[in-house]
Amino acid sequence: MKLFLVRHTEAIDYETESVRTDDIRFITPKGRKISTTVFKALKDDFADLDKIFTSPLVRAVQTAEILAVILKYKNDVEVANELTLPTPSSKVLQLLKRNTIFKSIALVGHEPMMSSLVQSFSDRKNFELPFKKSGVCYIDFDVDNGQGKFEWYYNPKTMEYHK
């Protein structure tokens, strides 16, 4: 399975009249622009994406929707509570095992979970790159044994792949 780990894009970091909790922080115009640029650059990598799961937090859902629009994704983006912090990687693995009909899945979530999933699900046990907002990691994942091969991380700051 192709497994893409996507960190949500930049969100507001302040309270507003209507935003008083972390759960409903929404993405900024800058974040929208960055994620659009990143997803357009990776469009070929995502070409055969079968499923998008997202954390239920607003900023992750909005990021997942931008990904869906850029890819002209034909299905619904699905909220997965397993992508809410703090959830152990074993619960995320159960989500993947329940969805083995899909050959390519994107999980949109948060730090430090995304870095933790890289370490848990790949041969990159010392993942030392900072998983930036709008960053994307690709793991060639074997669902049966719960492990995969780290293929690359795409840094949205440098617009470069790190292998």
Tell which phi-psi region holds residue 127, choosing left (phi > 0), alpha (psi between -120 and 50) or beta: beta
Note the pLDDT tens digit of each residue in 71-109.
999 999 999 999 998 899 999 999 999 999 999 999 999
Tell me if 63 sits within 8 A of 37, measured CB to CB.
no
CA dihedral (103, 39, 115, 14) positive or negative: negative
Domain CATH number, residue 155: 3.40.50.1240
Tell me whether strands 51-54 and 104-109 are parallel, antiparallel or unpaired: parallel
What is the average pLDDT across 135-158?
A: 97
For residue 6, the model assigns a pLDDT of: 98
Secondary structure (H, E, C), 6-52: EECCCECCCCCCCCCCHHHCCECHHHHHHHHHHHHHCCCCCCCCCEE
Q: What rounded mean pLDDT belongs to the chain?
A: 95
Which domain, by its residues, includes 134?
2-162
C-alpha span between 146 and 33 (Å, rounded): 34
For residue 21, the model assigns a pLDDT of: 80
pLDDT at residue 18 above 80?
Answer: no
> What is the domain count for the chain?
1
For residue 23, the model assigns a pLDDT of: 84
- Report residue 126 as tokens: 């010392």
pLDDT at residue 147 above 90?
Answer: yes
Using 50, 70 and 90 to split pLDDT, how confident is the model at 127?
confident
- Report residue 82 as tokens: 């397993």
Note the pLDDT tens digit of each residue in 28-61.
999 999 999 999 999 999 999 999 999 999 999 9
For residue 128, the model assigns a pLDDT of: 85
Q: At what angle do helices 29-41 and 58-71 cross, to 10 degrees?
A: 40
pLDDT at residue 19 above 80?
Answer: no
What is the average pLDDT across 141-152?
A: 97
